[in-house]
Amino acid sequence: MPKKDRMSGNEAVAYAIRQVNPDVMPAFPITPSTEIPQMVSTYIANGQMDTEFIPVESEHSSMSATIGAQAAGARSLTATSSAGLALMWEELLLAASNRMPCVLTLVNRTLSGPININCDHSDSMGARDTGWIQIYAENNQEAYDNFIQAYPIAENGKVHLPVMVCQDGFITSHAVQNIELLDDDTVRDFVGTYEPEEFLLNPGKPVSVGPYSISAYAMEAKKNQEAAMENSKEVIVNVGRSFERISGRKYGLFEEYRTEDADYIMLIMGSAAGTAKQACDDLRAKGVKAGILKLRVFRPFPAEEIAGALSKCKCVAIMDRCESYNGNGGPLSMEVCAALFKYKTDIEAISYMYGLAGRDFTVDHVYRIFEEMEDHINNGTDVEQYQYIGLRKQEQR
């Protein structure tokens, strides 16, 4: 039977790792993800799981060992944040291109510089084109649930790609929230046993992993990888439906909150969606037709589905927690605007930048953004594109 508890996001993910009981976990500590391998190693030391824990000398080594273990036929994972993910850069691409269904639990933290340990999405967004599936959590419950769903997605025969399970550093990773935990047997039955078709330690069928690929073959490999990423959309939805049957909690590519008749929608990811929902409820009480679209899955990017979900509103505010330095907005804004154009969805779209390096994002900020959208649509007032929310007034150099 499910049980109710209070846990931080890091505790919740570590608890899920214990329940899944993967074969191998290499890890190197970095704030704010350090607690996850720390807690897992404690579970192992106490005999509560039999995962092989490998202390390594760097995050590059951590991902290298994860890939090696996965290639050998072991269900593997690691954890990191920020510069740790950046140090894994080469290996992230190898994990995806070699079609390794491993999992990385990422606690989002600002990618230097300047040095900052607080949350934004610059680490995961920097890795958005490495070929990893990326799933984001609003709260501790979702961080727990997303990890449990990760292996059934990654290991599906139509996918065979690595999954990055993301949660916001300190905001969810260290804050304690009420949570509902599934029992161990239910989780293990849901995740199942990993039975790879090809692996290095199969003496009856030797294979080569990560060989040099000449031009006559490399492009086809990349196309197959892209096809697998596209296939993962359906798999993510189906795994979410299966998870709903054991938990009662529903997951898809995104969540639509009070969007049925919304004239104005805020599109946002991660923990700030909770702030946006509270403001949305306040605005609805005042007669404003506000709605929130919380994006859960950034890779694969659900372009057609998002365009459809936004097609009936008048204006959307696209909220980025990562700077892309392209002069037009962040990565989420670029993806959404391209989707609206591709699928001929004729609505107004305004790009905003918020919460960089842990800058506060409040309900008052959300009120103002919806007020700007409403004023723009009803009165034709110009709205500044690509605004930084909460930026102190100062000379920019």
Domain boundary among 247, 270, 290: 247
Beta bridge partners of 353: 320, 388
In this structure, what CATH number is given to the domain that contains residue 372? Answer: 3.40.50.920
Q: In 10 A of CB 104, how many CB atoms?
A: 27
Same domain as 122, residue 22: yes
119 domain residue, yes or no: yes
Same domain as 34, residue 123: yes
299 domain residue, yes or no: yes
Same domain as 258, residue 217: no
User: Residue 197, Cα to own-chain centre: how many angstroms?
Assistant: 27
| DSSP annotation string for 226-288 | HHHHHHHHHHHHHHHHHHHHHHS----SEEEES-TT-SEEEEEETTHHHHHHHHHHHHHHTT-
- Residue 142 burial (C-beta neighbours within 10 Å; 0-12, 13-18, 19+): buried
Nearest to 134 by CA among 153, 156, 114: 153
Task: Tell if the pTM clears 0.95, that is, is over it.
Answer: yes
397 domain residue, yes or no: no
Same domain as 258, residue 371: yes
Same domain as 376, residue 236: no
Direct distance between the N- and C-terminal alpha carbons of the chain, in angstroms, rounded to an integer: 58
Which residues, including other chains, have CB under 8 Å from residue 353's CB and lie 6 or more apart? 320, 321, 323, 329, 330, 386, 387, 388, 389
State the DSSP code for 111. P
396 domain residue, yes or no: no
Contacts 24+ apart (CB under 8 A), 124-130: 124/85, 124/164, 124/166, 124/298, 125/298, 125/322, 125/324, 125/330, 125/331, 126/85, 126/86, 126/322, 127/85, 127/89, 127/92, 127/164, 128/298, 128/299, 128/331, 130/89, 130/92, 130/93, 130/96
Same domain as 141, residue 26: yes
Beta bridge partners of 370: none
Same domain as 333, residue 268: yes
Same domain as 236, residue 261: no
State the DSSP code for 391. P
User: What string of pLDDT tens digits covers the 397 residues of the chain?
Assistant: 899 999 999 999 999 999 999 999 999 999 999 999 999 999 999 999 999 999 999 999 999 999 999 999 999 999 999 999 999 999 999 999 999 999 999 999 999 989 999 999 999 999 999 999 999 999 999 999 999 999 999 999 999 999 999 999 999 999 999 999 999 999 999 999 999 988 998 888 888 888 889 999 999 999 999 999 999 999 999 999 999 999 999 999 999 999 999 999 999 999 999 999 999 999 999 999 999 999 999 999 999 999 999 999 999 999 999 999 999 999 999 999 999 999 999 999 999 999 999 999 999 999 999 999 999 999 999 999 999 999 998 555 4
293 domain residue, yes or no: yes
CA-atom Rg of the chain in angstroms? 21
Same domain as 35, residue 111: yes
394 domain residue, yes or no: no
Same domain as 328, residue 186: no
Same domain as 279, residue 235: no
pLDDT at 209: 83
In this structure, what CATH number is given to the domain that contains residue 48? Answer: 3.40.50.970
208 domain residue, yes or no: yes
pLDDT at 372: 98
pLDDT at 211: 80
Same domain as 368, residue 238: no
Domain boundary among 181, 216, 247: 247
pLDDT at 397: 46
pLDDT at 394: 58
Q: Let me know: does 294 contact 255? Beta carbons within 8 Å.
A: yes
What are the φ and ψ backbone dihedral angles of 318, each rounded to 5 degrees? -100, 120
395 domain residue, yes or no: no
Q: In 10 A of CB 286, how many CB atoms?
A: 8
Domain of 358, in residue numbers:
254-388
Split into its structural domains, the chain has a count of 2
Domain boundary among 247, 272, 301: 247
